[in-house]
Amino acid sequence: MPKQESSSLVKFERYRPEDAEADKQAAAEDRPGGKYAEIIEGKNKFRFLPLLKGERGTDPEWERKHTRWGGRKTYIHYVDVPGENERVGIVCPKYEEERKCILCDEELRIKANAEKLRKAGKSGAARQEKDRAYGLSAKRRVYANVIDRSKPQSGPLVLGIGVKIEDRLVAIGQDPEDGGDFTDPGPEGFDVVIERTGKKRDTKYETSAARNRTPLTDDVKLRDEWLRSKHDLEDCVRVYTDEEMEKLIAGEKLDDGDDRPPPRKVKSTVSRTIEDDVVDDDDAQSSDDVEDIAIE
């Protein structure tokens, strides 16, 4: 006969498989990059979350840094990290704070050197310098709160997109027949489909409105919970001092006491050509073709 448990046995809670799964999800959320959505190969469905009442600012500075549907705009320099197979994304202080940027200055220095080489008849070397300058140039990014339909249990995630997906979202918003308000959480809203094909330089993205009109969720309490728990997009646009930027460029770590979010890192297998620069961000912040847009 099986041994009977003593009534004096100290009671304890069992660690069940569902508990382990919950811990796994919580750990992913707590780690850098855990709150970011990923655009994987194939079709991806995202529901963009709307601005809540009072979130849309009226001052020119708010409008300069946000899309009217609530995306947080910025510009990022992607810089090689010495001794590592990755690049670090550094938010451009010229755009965020309208102050001098040592990376923008370096880009201009490289461009000037490329022009000197061109005039000297060294077209090959000039082309390499021009490509190097473009690889360093600040690229436009827009961050938004979304629900990834492949894992709604994760709740709101942050999706980083480049100019081509951003332009398609604007086109969808301008289409009253097959598009419209892609942030509407109600029954007239719809998901956005982003289909990714190819790898590295051959990566392409097709962005369209889902055919069916559906609410964000049929569960009103869950809808309100998602809307209230959106991520603060300002965490995506941390600005560094010149000293901090120099440390990051040199591959050094910042002070351990700094509790601000760390810089985003991407694989260094980034196309540097002038015509086609694709950032293949492997830590859940995939992007479409990025575009070099001058920062005034």
Nearest to 77 by CA among 275, 270, 284, 276: 270
Residues 6+ apart with CB under 8 A from 181: 69, 173, 188, 189
Helix (H) or strand (E) holding 61, with range, is helix 60-65
Asked if the structure places residue 133 within a domain, the reply is: no
CB 285 within 8 A of CB 34: no
Whole-angstrom distance, CA of residue 89 vs CA of residue 248: 10
Per residue in 30-59, pLDDT (tens digit) is: 544 469 999 999 999 999 999 999 999 888
At position 123, the amino acid (one-letter code) is: S
The SS3 assignment for 220 reads: helix
The SS3 assignment for 90 reads: strand
Instruction: Output the average pLDDT for the chain.
Output: 83
**Radius of gyration of the chain measured on its C-alpha atoms:** 23
Asked if the structure places residue 126 within a domain, the reply is: no
The pLDDT value given to residue 19: 75
Q: What is the mean pLDDT of residues 183-210?
A: 93
Q: What is the mean pLDDT of residues 150-167?
A: 96
Asked if the structure places residue 221 within a domain, the reply is: yes
Asked if the structure places residue 2 within a domain, the reply is: no
Residues 6+ apart with CB under 8 A from 223: 185, 215, 216, 217
* Helix then strand then coil, % of the chain, to nearest 5: 30, 20, 50
The pLDDT value given to residue 81: 79
More confident: 154 or 11: 154
Per residue in 229-288, pLDDT (tens digit) is: 999 999 999 999 999 999 888 888 877 555 555 566 665 444 333 333 344 443 333 334
CB 190 within 8 A of CB 209: yes
At position 79, the amino acid (one-letter code) is: V
The pLDDT value given to residue 20: 77
The pLDDT value given to residue 256: 55
The pLDDT value given to residue 75: 97
The pLDDT value given to residue 100: 94
More confident: 13 or 243: 243
Query: Phi/psi of residue 243, each to 5°?
Result: -65, -40
CA distances from 211 to 83, 165, 178, 193 (A): 47, 18, 8, 10
Which long-range contacts link 38-41 to residues 24+ away (Cβ below 8 Å)?
Answer: 38/148, 38/284, 38/285, 38/286, 39/159, 39/194, 39/196, 39/205, 39/286, 39/287, 39/288, 40/196, 40/286, 41/196, 41/197, 41/199
Q: Domain containing 286 — which CATH number? A: 3.90.198
The SS3 assignment for 188 reads: coil
Residues 6+ apart with CB under 8 A from 151: none
Asked if the structure places residue 296 within a domain, the reply is: no
List the single range of 78-87, 187-196, 224-233 with lowest mean pLDDT. Answer: 78-87
Work out the end-to-end distance of the chain between its first and last CA atoms, rounded to an integer number of angstroms: 82
Whole-angstrom distance, CA of residue 91 vs CA of residue 78: 9
Q: What is the mean pLDDT of residues 118-129?
A: 95
Asked if the structure places residue 30 within a domain, the reply is: no
Q: Does residue 197 have a pLDDT over 70?
A: yes
The pLDDT value given to residue 97: 94
pTM of the model: 0.78
Query: Phi/psi of residue 123, each to 5°?
Result: -65, -40
Residues of the domain holding 188: 37-101+138-290
Structural domain tally of the chain?
1
Asked if the structure places residue 80 within a domain, the reply is: yes
Per residue in 84-100, pLDDT (tens digit) is: 677 889 999 999 999 99
More confident: 126 or 25: 126
The pLDDT value given to residue 15: 77
Whole-angstrom distance, CA of residue 82 vs CA of residue 63: 37
Q: Does residue 27 have a pLDDT over 90?
A: no
Asked if the structure places residue 9 within a domain, the reply is: no
